[in-house]
Amino acid sequence: MMMSESRKHITEYLKKGLRLDGRKLDEFREVSVEYGISKNAEGSARVKIGGTEVLAGVKLNIGTPYSDRPDEGTLMVGVELYPLASPEFESGPPSIDSIELARVVDRGIREAGAIDNKALCIEKGEKIWIVSVDICPINDEGNLFDAAGLAAIAAIMDAKFPKVEKDGTVNYKEKTKNSLPIKKRPIPVTVWRIGNELIVDPINEEEKSADARLTIASLSDGIICALQKGGDATLTVEDVDKMTDLALVKAKELRSKLGGKAK
Amino acid sequence: MSYTKRVDGRKSFTELRPITAKAGVIARADGSAYFKIGNTAAYAAVYGPRELHPRNKQIPTRGLLRCDYVMMPFSGMGDRVRPGPNRRAKEISMVTQKALDPVLDLQDYPNAVVDVFICLPETDAGSRCAGICAASIALADAGVPMKDLICAVSTGQVGDKVVVDLDYAEEAYSDGPVSDIPVAMIPSTGELTLLQMDGEISKKDLMEALKLVKESMNEIYEVQKNALKEKYPAGGDDDE
Amino acid sequence: MSGLTINDKDVVVPGEVLAEGMDYLPSHGTYRLDNTIRAGKLGLARIDGKVIKIIPLSGVYSPRRNDVIICKVFDVLMSGWRVNTFTPYSAMLSMKDGTNEFIMKGANLTKYHKIGDYIMCKVVNVTSQRLIDVTMKGPGLRKLDNGRFIRVNSHKVPRIIGKQGSMVSMVKNATGCRILVGQNGVVWVSGEPEMEILAIETIKKVEKESHVSGLTDAIKVFLEEKTGKKLETKAEEKSEPEGEQQ
């Protein structure tokens, strides 16, 4: 296991086109997606990127709509950074890191209109479906942003509506064959700047040495649907240009890992 | 009405649901394990012995064991489990700590802490027991000195039968009295480190239940042992 | 012999029965329970005559006097530095032990070692409350600049160093890297980037396959394949068993 590498050392490697583990600058570790990993969830998935492992689950409940959107269901995305996954996560109320992670993933899915909220309406003004997506990292070896985003989409793709009885109660023990009304499948890719070099899929040590990052969520047609800049340093417009190009290429690779489910 | 056939089709009343266990599943932790019984699954990660903060919790004569149990929001049938402080989880964290501590020897780690984190992605009754089983394997994996593993499973009564390893359907049985008794045990001595009960049971049936569950503990110990031995193959010499 | 329920070098788990009857004696990591001897931790059971002990396979490193370890400075004080030993206990490096130079009274010690510096040092003393003193005075002890640091299981350190340094020397020769192995499981590797990566990959391989016999040969083959160069096996390497020099 590696420790906090000096930024100087990492930049020397990057100048030679090398990462700390021998990868190229634009190379992802091995990515895998597994569906249906938790039977009680209406939908679930496990994503591994290298040693980083994340579980995501979808819960569906019937509730009342917001008064200003009486014909729309709701989607909420949460992230739990349990101390189980890393010696750097602490118990207690959500840290700003977990909040940022949740908001970035949420932005990439909800704001991008991944789910047709209107199709979640059961009875206008009265009853709608509430879709809750929860993402739980099990082991953090870097790049939780992309792993979490991919896991969330996979869990949403895996989800099936439970049976609703004639009297309106939900029978969670029986699943229907109906999937969620998915309109788009946004995939986030975070590009990190260390000095003058750009990398994707960092390990923990690289994340700590980075100057700035940009998370870019995109759709299958190459349209960008969410952006979030993070990190203490600045990004130039040229940086953004190069980062989005890289992200769009990588998103295509990640998208292929989702497999033949849905579209 | 008599309870004649188990809801999930198990042949005997003392039969455990299928179990899988694996050690070393969380690379960043010092020790870790996954333990699944039926549809109840638990991950456990151990960090430590490590420095303990805050200072006022430090014990100068030995290390401290700290346990934290949490269910993932999507783990249960039906409603989502809202994240955040949860009394039930806090109580389970405490009884888990009390269930594991008696076999640990933390004398060599004054002022330090061994943290055990348990998370469940899937629950179908018997969750605190699965957590304790996973935590046991994880503590051994982390090299913590312990005189034995801890085995845990529920026993109890469904209708007129004493059973071992109740699943959710049996806990919810409505055609007769039900008691759910989570038990944790030191397998080498038979001593109990966890004993709780929800429901109703006669004294006679209680003693019968405790007798039956003891045999199941050996089965669980074998699974935990194999999980550790799979991760640590026996080996050759240090020299060539 | 009768009484034993396991073989020498079996991996055993806590609570496992190692021997029955009163013929055998429990030693490090084992204990007697009624008529049995049992394992008190996960490890390798070793039988030496009538004595059974456990060699641990995992667990935190316990600092011992004279061990050479790699630490990281995390605090600078008036009288010295506090260093992270990568155990639950930090260590104190006093001013006089931190450097051979003459230090003016009231000088800013950051000049000599600052927070984040890695140092190779020797354990001078460990109290019962685990207060540890270390020194940098001694052959080979110094600050470690450049290079990369990785952490390995401290119980695998002897295997990584090898008999009389044979394993680590082989890795050094094949990669041209300088490698120092601390008893606390912290390893420093310094060389060309590609070679650092190979050295680290090799060390992790040794750590993972430490139980395999014939490992030195397997690692030799691995290194030759990766570098495309043949390695001479140096029979005896004159080096200290703890930390290697240059």
**Number of neighbours of residue A50 by Cβ within 10 angstroms:** 19
Segment C190-210 shows an average pLDDT of 95
Hey, is A13 helix, strand or coil? helix
Q: Show residues of chain A in contact with B25, CB under 8 Å.
A: 138-139
Please name the member of A38, A58, A86 whose beta carbon is closest to the beta carbon of B75.
A38
Q: Measured in whole angstroms, how far is the alpha carbon of residue C226 from the centre of its chain?
A: 26
- pLDDT (tens digit per residue) in B43-53: 999 999 999 98
- In this complex, do A2 and C148 lie within 8 Å of one another by their Cβ atoms? yes
Tell whether the model's pLDDT for residue B234 goes beyond 90.
no
- Reading the block at residue A207, the tokens are 């994340």
- In this complex, do C211 and B50 lie within 8 Å of one another by their Cβ atoms? no
Burial C63-98 (b: 16+ CB within 10 A, else e): beeebbbbbbbeebeeebbebbbbbbbbbbbeeebb
pLDDT-derived band at B66 (thresholds 50, 70, 90) equals: very high
Predicted local confidence at residue A94, as pLDDT? 86
Q: How far apart are CA B181 and CA A205, in angstroms?
A: 46
Q: How far apart are CA A91 and CA B68, in angstroms?
A: 9
Predicted local confidence at residue B11, as pLDDT? 92
Q: What is the mean pLDDT of chain B?
A: 95
Residue A116 backbone class (left: φ over 0; alpha: ψ -120 to 50; beta: rest):
beta
Please name the member of B143, B233, B240 whose beta carbon is closest to the beta carbon of C56.
B143
The residue with tokens 């260093």 is C83
- Reading the block at residue B145, the tokens are 């000195």
The residue of chain A with its CA nearest to that of B28 is A86
Predicted local confidence at residue A2, as pLDDT? 53
Mean pLDDT per segment of 10 residues, for chain A of length 263 residues?
A: 73 95 97 96 98 98 94 94 95 87 91 92 94 97 97 97 93 95 95 96 95 95 94 95 97 90 43
Predicted local confidence at residue B85, as pLDDT? 86
Is the CB of residue A191 less than 8 Å from the CB of residue A199? yes
- In this complex, do B79 and A84 lie within 8 Å of one another by their Cβ atoms? no
- pLDDT (tens digit per residue) in C26-36: 999 999 999 99
Q: Show residues of chain C in contact with A16, CB under 8 Å.
A: 193-194
Q: Show residues of chain B in contact with C128, CB under 8 Å.
A: 110
Cα Rg for chain C, rounded, in angstroms? 21
Beta strand pairing status for C91-94 and C132-135? Answer: parallel
Tell whether the model's pLDDT for residue C173 goes beyond 80.
yes
Q: Give the DSSP letter of residue C232.
A: P
Using a CB–CB cutoff of 8 Å, tell me whether B145 touches chain C.
yes
Listed in sequence order, the DSSP H helices in A85-143 are 96-106
Question: Which residue from A72, A73, A37, A75 is spatially nearest to A54, judged by alpha carbons?
Answer: A37
Greater model confidence, B2 or B163 = B163
Greater model confidence, B215 or C107 = B215
Q: How far apart are CA C147 and CA B69, in angstroms?
A: 40
Predicted local confidence at residue C212, as pLDDT? 86
Is the CB of residue A18 less than 8 Å from the CB of residue C197? yes
- pLDDT (tens digit per residue) in B72-125: 999 999 999 999 889 999 999 999 999 999 999 999 999 999 999 999 999 999
pLDDT-derived band at C233 (thresholds 50, 70, 90) equals: low
Angle (CA) A104 A156 A201, round 5° = 45
Beta strand pairing status for A160-164 and C118-126? Answer: unpaired
Q: Print the SS3 string covering B77-135.
A: CCCCCCCCCCHHHHHHHHHHHHHHHHHECCCCCCCEEEEEEEEEEECCCCHHHHHHHHH
HSE-CB of B148 using CA atoms within 13 angstroms: 27
**Number of neighbours of residue B135 by Cβ within 10 angstroms:** 32
Q: Show residues of chain C in contact with A197, CB under 8 Å.
A: none
- In this complex, do C148 and A20 lie within 8 Å of one another by their Cβ atoms? yes
Predicted local confidence at residue C240, as pLDDT? 43
Question: Which residue from A26, A52, A53, A30 is spatially nearest to A191, judged by alpha carbons?
Answer: A26
Predicted local confidence at residue C231, as pLDDT? 83
Using a CB–CB cutoff of 8 Å, tell me whether A92 touches chain B.
no
pLDDT-derived band at B238 (thresholds 50, 70, 90) equals: low
- In this complex, do C150 and A22 lie within 8 Å of one another by their Cβ atoms? no
- pLDDT (tens digit per residue) in B114-159: 999 999 999 999 999 999 999 999 999 999 999 999 999 999 999 9
Q: Show residues of chain B in contact with A77, CB under 8 Å.
A: none
The residue of chain C with its CA nearest to that of B61 is C129
- In this complex, do B43 and A138 lie within 8 Å of one another by their Cβ atoms? yes
- pLDDT (tens digit per residue) in B178-197: 999 999 999 999 999 999 99
Return phi, psi of residue A139, to 5°: -150, 120
Q: How far apart are CA B181 and CA B158, in angstroms?
A: 11
- pLDDT (tens digit per residue) in C129-139: 899 999 999 99
Predicted local confidence at residue A92, as pLDDT? 84
Tell whether the model's pLDDT for residue C230 goes beyond 90.
no
- pLDDT (tens digit per residue) in B3-28: 889 999 999 999 999 999 999 999 99
CA-based nearest distance A10→chain C, Å: 10
Is the CB of residue B98 less than 8 Å from the CB of residue B92? no
Please name the member of B140, B188, B239 whose beta carbon is closest to the beta carbon of C33.
B188
Q: How far apart are CA A221 and CA B239, in angstroms?
A: 59
Tell whether the model's pLDDT for residue C235 goes beyond 80.
no
Beta strand pairing status for B64-71 and B112-122? Answer: parallel
Please name the member of A2, A4, A12 whose beta carbon is closest to the beta carbon of C193.
A12
H or E segment to which residue A51 belongs: none
CA-based nearest distance A63→chain C, Å: 49
Using a CB–CB cutoff of 8 Å, tell me whether B127 touches chain A.
no
Q: Show residues of chain B in contact with A78, CB under 8 Å.
A: 73, 83
Tell whether the model's pLDDT for residue C58 goes beyond 50.
yes
- In this complex, do A13 and C193 lie within 8 Å of one another by their Cβ atoms? yes
Using a CB–CB cutoff of 8 Å, tell me whether B73 touches chain A.
yes
Beta strand pairing status for A224-230 and C11-12? Answer: unpaired
The residue of chain B with its CA nearest to that of C162 is B239
HSE-CB of B151 using CA atoms within 13 angstroms: 27
